[in-house]
């Protein structure tokens, strides 16, 4: 299976031209230099995908617990106890910290 397909550089527009200009300016002429840069970007993409997955998981948990918090009693049964409320607050705080940390990271 091929890793790289034929690409229409005209459709890539400024994205393509920025990379050509940057690679020329930085002297990335060899396949090894270019592969090293692509590997770096792959690592960053994988890291960000994990951050997104973690944030999505925390968001789903937070949404569930927020619903339970708002609808704490159903047919006379308590659906949310104090331990659940603490977990809701911890999840919301963790999600805020993840988002804040990612917003503070410099673009590499």
Render each residue's pLDDT in the chain as its tens digit; 108 residues: 677 778 888 998 898 898 889 889 988 888 898 888 888 889 999 988 888 888 777 777 777 766 666 665 444 455 555 666 677 677 777 777 777 777 777 765
| Number of domains, the chain | 1
Its pTM stands at 0.50
Task: Specify the pLDDT at position 63.
Answer: 72
In a domain, 70, yes or no: yes
Q: Which domain holds residue 31?
A: 9-104
- Residue keyed to tokens 């270019």: 34
Q: Considering the domain boundaries, does residue 1 fall inside one?
A: no
Contact 94, 61 (CB under 8 A): no
- C-beta atoms surrounding 67 within 10 Å: 12
In a domain, 2, yes or no: no
Per-residue pLDDT, 75: 43
- By CB neighbour count within 10 A (0-12 exposed, 13-18 middle, 19+ buried), where does 91 fall? buried
68 assigned to some structural domain: yes
């Amino acid at each position: 299976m091929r890793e790289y397909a034929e690409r229409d550089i005209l459709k890539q527009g400024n994205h393509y031209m920025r990379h050509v200009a940057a690679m020329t300016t930085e002297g990335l002429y060899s396949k090894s230099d270019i592969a090293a840069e692509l590997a770096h970007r792959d690592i960053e993409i994988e890291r960000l995908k994990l951050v997104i997955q973690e944030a999505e998981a925390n968001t789903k948990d937070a949404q569930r617990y927020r619903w339970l918090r708002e609808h704490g009693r159903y047919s006379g049964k308590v659906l949310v106890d104090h331990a659940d409320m603490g977990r809701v607050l911890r999840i919301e705080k963790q999600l805020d910290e993840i988002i804040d940390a990612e917003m503070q990271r410099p673009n590499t």
